[in-house]
Structure 1
Amino acid sequence: MATDTDDTPVAWGVIGCGRIAQQFCADMSWAHNGVVRAVASRTLAKAQHFAERHHIDNAYGSYQQLLDDPSIEVVYIATPHVFHCQQSIQALKRSKAVVCEKPIAVNLYECQQLFQVARCEKVYVMEAMWSYFLPAIKQTKAWIDKGVIGELRCIEASFGFVAPRDLQGRHFNKALGGGSLYDIGIYPLAMAAFLLGEFETSWCVENMVTNHGVDSEVSFTAQTQHVQLSFCCSFNRVLANELVITGSKGRITVPDFWQAKGCQYWLNDGSGDAFIDQTQGLGYQHEAIQVAKDIRKQRTQSNVMTLSRSLWLQQQMEKIRSELIKS
């Protein structure tokens, strides 16, 4: 493995050729310390088309071929949820660092097994919670840490859109880990943990809509550390799609918080301020840049999106899912 003084760009391989993989590779144009060297799909033609579009040197018609490529240092996994754990383990056992799209597993047991392999192999692994690395989210946290809006009172977040009613697609296909909670409900949970740290609480599921055997919409609330949490995720309708943090002195709003490009605050006296992210791209490069730094420093996990945080997220989603079953 390269030493922490090595400034050679980290070589990435991408597994999966869907929308998120497309966005990730497009944003890698602005990652100075990393380059995508290979892409793999279940069909060679799809991989070749993807590689041509993103100017990637190597295209493979199987995931195993990419894992066998000795030049690849880190693998970005962007396949449907149910494949994340198995593919991550396969990559780790080939001594490839792993950045896996969220959710990194579909249950707590899978997550624990995956991280056990990572510890045994002593190889880097991180759940791709890219939102944590966005400048606007970091600015939001800085305002809160400085006490700009005072003592936190409430965190509200919603993420909703009208998903295609394709029963073979990942949103509504139970066999692919479909459902709004694991796909997009994880983002409000992740934001709560980013702002408050990992906490113990019980969740109340206030509303749940099912379509085709999966949760297509979930509203869930909790109280922790004197802060009220109120979240909603939906595949059925467009929601406000923002993060609102209310404190004793004012509030912060973050539009489209999972891919935030800006944030602003208003104080009770009418004053306020705003932050606009001027960097190019959607924002995946911020995550990739930090991962490359971690790998060059021979770390086995991120100190931003830790393994503990991923386990916590799985625990919370299982709690919420258990309430869904009772509903």
Structure 2
Amino acid sequence: MSTNKHLHWGIVGAGRIAHTFASDMRHVDNSQVYAVASRNLEDAREFARQYQIPVPLEGYQQLFDHPQVDAVYIATPHNLHYGQVREALLAGKHVLCEKPITVSAEQCEDLIALAKAQGLFLMEAMWTWFLPAIRKARQWVDEGRIGRILHIKADFGYPQPYDVNARTYNPQLAGGCLLDMGIYPLALNLLFKPAPYQSLSVDYHQAPNGVEDDVNWTLRYPDSVSSLGTSFRCRLPNWAFIIGDNGYIAIPDFFRASQASLYVLDQRVEHFEDNRLGSGFEFEIQAATEAIREGRLEAPGMPLSASLECQRQLQAILARIPGVPPK
């Protein structure tokens, strides 16, 4: 790592999610966005101008090779993640990669091994896990406030009209609602139920080209059941409920949660709201920054074992949808 006073980040890609990252960096200590790379130099220059980034670059390899860049944030579509993370690690950069980190468990395993061999930090940008409201919910569970978890219910869906040329429906670009939106309920469930599940059942609908556009799945454990869903066909409630034998936790818009409520029977006994200054990305960026500066290879709040398990569960769900194009 360079001797910079601040950790110097480089952003790979200049799309919507990259804008959120750059904007929220203003609320992170000991970090700055030093460079941004795009396939088009003018796009990189405009992005850099908007966020006062010193170095705009054309092409991603220039960013990976830049000596003043300590860590990179991969903000491109998920079908590109595997190759770009590999290139960044081979160039000696720490990596924070947008979710899903890869499109298969095999790719994820390869990146984990490479990061370890290179002695570099690697983390999937599952920002939901770092949100204060989600952490408060974890605290309530750990304190036994809702008793033993019996049910988890979570869904995430927004209408995405069918368009065979759109990224979301293009099988060559790993299209489909599971990787695009289903990663959120799947990851939330894993946060609260890390133990292996016993059985999996899947209900689904497929778009005309075979890509999954609506999926509901049930994970059964020895002592509980999780009911999860995602959809391109409709607006789902986008709530999460963690239900125990003594109470439950309700989290609206859980994927970007700013609040959570604790109930005993029908009585709300505690409510939490965060005081975020940005969009919520600042919490995961701060966690990654601190881990890198401390010399860690993983972030304590988002271990690579969790990313790998997410990939394995995604593959298990997809394997139960006949004829779905490979990701």
Common fold: TM-score over 0.5: yes
Q: CA deviation at 1:218?
A: 0.6
**Correspondent of 2:254 among 252, 257, 263:** 257
Rounded to whole Å, the distance in 2 between the matches of 1:283 and 1:259 is 7
Which SS does the other structure have where 1:171 is aligned? helix
The answer to whether the aligner puts 1:245 opposite 2:242 as a matched pair is yes
Q: Which is further off, 189-198 or 106-115?
A: 189-198
Which SS does the other structure have where 1:324 is aligned? coil
Q: CA deviation at 1:188?
A: 1.1
2:161 touches 2:233 (CA, 8 Å); kept in 1? no
Question: Which residue pairs with 1:126 in the alignment?
Answer: 123
| 1:114-135 CA distance string (max 9 Å, x none) | 1121111111111111111110
Classify 1:244/1:41 alpha carbon distance in 2 versus 1 (closer, same or farther; 3 Å). Answer: same
Q: Return the letter of the residue paired with 1:25.
A: A
Question: Which residue pairs with 1:187 in the alignment?
Answer: 184
Q: Return the letter of the residue paired with 2:187.
A: A
Show structure 1 runs of 4+ deviating over 6 A.
Answer: none
Q: Return the letter of the residue paired with 2:62.
A: Q
2:249 touches 2:261 (CA, 8 Å); kept in 1? yes
Question: Which residue pairs with 1:108 in the alignment?
Answer: 105
The answer to whether the aligner puts 1:310 opposite 2:310 as a matched pair is no
**Correspondent of 1:268 among 251, 265, 280:** 265
Rounded to whole Å, the distance in 2 between the matches of 1:176 and 1:47 is 23
**Correspondent of 1:88 among 82, 85, 89:** 85
Rounded to whole Å, the distance in 1 between the matches of 2:45 and 2:210 is 35
Question: Which residue pairs with 1:301 in the alignment?
Answer: 298
Q: CA deviation at 1:186?
A: 1.1
Rounded to whole Å, the distance in 2 between the matches of 1:325 and 1:165 is 19
Question: Which residue pairs with 1:223 in the alignment?
Answer: 220
Number of residue pairs the alignment of both structures matches: 324
1:110-189 superposed matches below 5 A: 110-163=107-160, 165-189=162-186
Q: CA deviation at 1:246?
A: 1.1
In structure 2, list runs of 5 or more residues that go unmatched.
none
Rounded to whole Å, the distance in 2 between the matches of 1:271 and 1:7 is 48
2:89 touches 2:95 (CA, 8 Å); kept in 1? yes
Q: CA deviation at 1:137?
A: 0.4
1:7 touches 1:33 (CA, 8 Å); kept in 2? no
Q: CA deviation at 1:279?
A: 1.6
1:193 touches 1:199 (CA, 8 Å); kept in 2? no
Which SS does the other structure have where 2:39 is aligned? coil
Question: Which residue pairs with 1:213 in the alignment?
Answer: 210
Rounded to whole Å, the distance in 1 between the matches of 2:121 and 2:105 is 19
1:198 touches 1:312 (CA, 8 Å); kept in 2? no
Compute the TM-score of the two structures, normalised by the length of structure 2: 0.95
Which SS does the other structure have where 2:319 is aligned? helix
Compute the TM-score of the two structures, normalised by the length of structure 1: 0.95
Q: CA deviation at 1:299?
A: 0.9
In structure 1, list runs of 5 or more residues that go unmatched.
none
